[in-house]
Amino acid sequence: MNRKQFLKNSAKGVTLTTLVPSLVFCSTDGQQKTISGNYRVNSDFEPDVDLELTATPSELQFFPGNPTNIYSYQSKLLKGENASHEKLPDSYLGPVVRVRNGQKIRVRFKNQLPHESVVHWHGLHIPPEMDGHPMYAIENGKQYIYEFEVNNRPGTYWFHPHPDKITGPQVYQGLAGMFIVEGVNEDLPSGEYDIPLIIQDRTFDNNNQLVYLQNNRMGQMQGFLGKQIMVNGSPEQIMEVSKATYRFRVLNGSNSRIYKLAWSDGSDVIVIGTDGGLLEKPIKKPYLMLAPGQRAEIWKDFSDAKNTDEIQLESLAFNSGTSMGMGGGMMGGMMQSEDTQNGNAFNVARFKITKNEGEIKTLPASFSPIKKTDAVKAVNSNSPRQFYFYNQRMQWVINSETFGMTEVADWEKVKLGTTEIWEFINGDDGRGMGMMQDMMRMPHPVHLHGLQFQIIDRDVSGMESAVWETIKDGFMDEGWQDTFLLMPGMKVKIVMKFKDFKGIYVYHCHNLEHEDMGMMRNYQVT
Ligand code: C2O
Ligand code: CU
C-alpha cells in the first residue's frame, strides 16, 4: 500500500513529494499501527548529494598486536562534490559530511550489522520519517532511504544510530559521524584550519578489544565511562598545528562522559558556536561544560602561545553530583571505579606547534544575528509543561514513564505552528516514593529531536553548591541548542516553535545507557 505524502518546506516555499510504502507494526500495547518509512529511492527527488552509508562490523589496527573489532559506517559518494564527504584517517568513526543549506541530500543506509539499526541526524530539522526514530529501525540486510533538504543554519551537527535499547553499544563500537552545514564566512578559519574534534571515551582489554558494560544493571544505571579518551576515533591524541588561528568543531560523542574543557596555557576558551551554529558574538569562558550530544565551536589562536611548543586541551575535575542512594557514597563507591568517574580530570588532546607559518585571523566582534524566540508569545507562557527526569525504583524515568515505541501521552502533544515553553527538572516530582528515589541522582543531558530551541532560564537554587561551584562558569545558554546539561537539582526552561512537520519525534536523556533503559519519550506535533 502506497501513500502519497506532501512535505511542505515553508521556509523555502518548496513542496517535496515522497512516495512512502507502509509497514504494519505491533506496538508494545499490542495494537497494530501502520508506520510509513522510506524504504525505496524516490525518483522525483533530485539530490545534490547522494551517499551510500553502510553500517558493518569491521576491524582496525589501533595498537600493536591484535586489531580491534569495531562497527563502522562505510560510505561511498554516488553524487556530489568530493568535498561533501571526507574520511577521518585511522579512525573508527564515519565520514565527515559537508553540505550547504538548501541542498537536497539522499543517504542510502544499508544495515550489515547483526542487529537492527537506524540513523538519526542529530540537530537537523527534517520530517519525522527522515529523523531516525527507533520505529524505523531496519534489520540486517535491509536498507532505508533518507531524503531531505537541509534547512538548518550553518553549523556542526552529527549522526549516529538510534535503535531502541541498543543505541549505546552501537555508538560505542564506532558508529557516529559529523554532519557539517557550511556557511560562507571569510572571517573564519577554513580548510586545514577548520577541524573536527570528536571526543569519546573507551576501555580496551589486554587483547585490544573494546570493553562495554558487562550486563551489569548498576553499570547501566550510571552509564558507560571509559578509561581512555579518544579524539576523532583514534587514541592518538597528538596533533601538529601551525602558529595560526583554528576553528575547532568540538563534539562530545561519548556515551555518558561530561567534559569540562579548558586550555592548559590558562587562556580563555573562546566559544563562537553552539549546537545550532554561530553565536551572535564570541563568548569567552575560563572553561566549557560539554555534555554528551552537545557541540561547541571553539576559536583558538596558537600564534600567541608564549614560551611553549605544546598546548593541551584538558578536561578539568568537577563534581558531577552523582549519588546512587542508600547512604550515597557507599553504593556510589561500589559501582564507580575511581579511575573512570564522571568529573575526573583527563588530558583530551595535545597540540604540538610545529610550524611557524600559518593563517592568522582576528576574532570577529560579531557573527550572524540570532532572533530571540518571544517567550511571552508562547501558548503556555504562564504554565510551562514540566518534565521531571529522575530515578524510580532502579529505573530512570521522565514524569514517571519510560519509552513506548509509538506511545504519546496527552502531555506530549503539541500543535503545529505554536511556540511553547518546556521546563526540565532533574529530580522527582515529589509525588512518588519521596526520599528513596531522590537519593539516586545523576546529570542528564536532555535532547529533543527535530528542532533547535533557546534556553531562557537555568535555575540552580535546588542544586548542591558543592557541585555548582565546580561547573558554574562553563554553561553556554546563548544561541541555538538541541541538547543541554541538566545537573541534579537543576531546572532549565527552553522555548521553541513547532514548525513545518507533523508527526512523532523522540526526546530523551543523551546519556546513551539511560536512553537505552527507556529514559526517552515521544512528543507529537499535530
Ligand atoms: Cu543524538 Cu536521540 O540523539
Ligand atoms: Cu540520564
- List the 96-100 sheet strands across, edge first: 85-86, 96-100, 177-182, 155-161, 119-122
Instruction: Identify which ligand lies nearest to the alpha carbon of 295.
Output: 1
pLDDT at 7 over 70: no
Instruction: Identify which ligand lies nearest to the alpha carbon of 508.
Output: 1
Q: Is residue 74 within a helix (H) or strand (E), and if so which, with residue range?
A: strand 68-79
| Distance from C-alpha of 195 to C-alpha of 187, rounded to nearest angstrom | 16
Burial class (CB in 10 A: 0-12, 13-18, 19+), 37: buried
Ligand 1 centroid, distance to 321 Cα (angstroms): 23
How would residue 331 be classed by pLDDT, with cut points 50, 70 and 90? very low
> Cβ of 235: how many Cβ atoms within 10 Å?
14
Q: Which ligand 1 atom is the nearest neighbour of the CA of 293?
A: 1
Task: Determine if ligand 1 sits within 6 Å of the CB of residue 120.
Answer: yes
| Distance from C-alpha of 516 to C-alpha of 508, rounded to nearest angstrom | 10
How would residue 332 be classed by pLDDT, with cut points 50, 70 and 90? very low
- Residue 495 CA: distances (Å) to CA of 159, 229, 401, 419, 453: 24, 34, 23, 7, 6
Instruction: Identify which ligand lies nearest to the alpha carbon of 220.
Output: 2
How would residue 308 be classed by pLDDT, with cut points 50, 70 and 90? confident
Residue pLDDT, tens place only, 242-282 = 999 999 999 999 999 999 999 999 999 999 999 999 999 99
How would residue 20 be classed by pLDDT, with cut points 50, 70 and 90? very low
Give the pLDDT mean for 131-145: 97
pLDDT at 353 over 90: yes
473-492: b or e for each residue (b if 16 or more CB lie within 10 Å)?
ebbbeebbbbbbbbbbbbbb
Residue pLDDT, tens place only, 148-184 = 999 999 999 999 999 999 999 999 999 999 999 999 8
Nearest residue (by CA) to ligand 1, atom 1, is: 122
Task: Determine if ligand 1 sits within 6 Å of the CB of residue 295.
Answer: no
Residue pLDDT, tens place only, 501-520 = 999 999 999 999 999 999 99
Task: Determine if ligand 1 sits within 6 Å of the CB of residue 508.
Answer: yes
The pLDDT score that the predictor gives to residue 12 is: 33
Position 379: which residue type?
V
Ligand 2 centroid, distance to 514 Cα (angstroms): 5
- Residue 251 vs residue 11, higher pLDDT: 251
Give the pLDDT mean for 87-100: 95
Position 313: which residue type?
L
How would residue 26 be classed by pLDDT, with cut points 50, 70 and 90? very low
Residue pLDDT, tens place only, 195-222 = 999 999 999 999 999 999 876 778 889 9
| Distance from C-alpha of 473 to C-alpha of 307, rounded to nearest angstrom | 28
Ligand 1 centroid, distance to 123 Cα (angstroms): 8
User: Of the ranges 86-95, 301-310, 323-332, 385-394, which one carries the lowest mean pLDDT score?
Assistant: 323-332
Q: Enumerate the β-bridge partners of residue 510.
A: none
Q: Which ligand 1 atom is the nearest neighbour of the CA of 520?
A: 2
pLDDT at 14 over 70: no
- Residue 9 vs residue 351, higher pLDDT: 351
Ligand 2 centroid, distance to 357 Cα (angstroms): 45
Instruction: Identify which ligand lies nearest to the alpha carbon of 487.
Output: 2
Q: Which ligand 1 atom is the nearest neighbour of the CA of 132?
A: 2
The pLDDT score that the predictor gives to residue 337 is: 64
Task: Determine if ligand 1 sits within 6 Å of the CB of residue 514.
Answer: no
| Contacts (Cβ under 8 Å, ≥6 apart) of 291 | 252, 258, 443, 445, 483, 484, 485, 510
Q: Which ligand 1 atom is the nearest neighbour of the CA of 506?
A: 2
pLDDT at 30 over 70: no
Nearest residue (by CA) to ligand 1, atom 3, is: 122
Q: Which ligand 1 atom is the nearest neighbour of the CA of 507?
A: 2
The pLDDT score that the predictor gives to residue 253 is: 98
Task: Determine if ligand 1 sits within 6 Å of the CB of residue 293.
Answer: yes
**251-256-259 Cα angle (round to 5):** 50
Instruction: Identify which ligand lies nearest to the alpha carbon of 483.
Output: 1
| Distance from C-alpha of 281 to C-alpha of 98, rounded to nearest angstrom | 24
pLDDT at 399 over 90: yes
Give the pLDDT mean for 58-71: 96
Task: Determine if ligand 1 sits within 6 Å of the CB of residue 449.
Answer: yes
How would residue 233 be classed by pLDDT, with cut points 50, 70 and 90? very high
Give the pLDDT mean for 10-17: 34
The pLDDT score that the predictor gives to residue 18 is: 39
**How does the average pLDDT of the chain come out, rounded?**
90
The pLDDT score that the predictor gives to residue 215 is: 65
Q: Enumerate the β-bridge partners of residue 299.
A: 247, 270
Ligand 2 centroid, distance to 369 Cα (angstroms): 33
Give the pLDDT mean for 123-143: 97
Residue 396 region, left (φ>0) first, then alpha (ψ -120 to 50), else beta? beta
Ligand 1 centroid, distance to 475 Cα (angstroms): 20
Q: Which ligand 1 atom is the nearest neighbour of the CA of 158?
A: 1
Ligand 1 centroid, distance to 447 Cα (angstroms): 7
How would residue 340 be classed by pLDDT, with cut points 50, 70 and 90? confident
pLDDT at 330 over 70: no
Residue pLDDT, tens place only, 413-461 = 999 999 999 999 999 877 655 454 457 899 999 999 999 999 999 999 9
pLDDT at 137 over 90: yes
User: Of the ranges 48-52, 315-319, 328-332, which one carries the lowest mean pLDDT score?
Assistant: 328-332
- Please give the grid coordinates belonging to residue 416: 503545529
Ligand 1 centroid, distance to 207 Cα (angstroms): 31
Share above pLDDT 70 across residues of the chain, in percent, rounded to a whole number: 89
Ligand 2 centroid, distance to 44 Cα (angstroms): 41
Ligand 2 centroid, distance to 320 Cα (angstroms): 12
Task: Determine if ligand 1 sits within 6 Å of the CB of residue 122.
Answer: yes
276 contacts 306 by C-beta, under 8 angstroms:
no
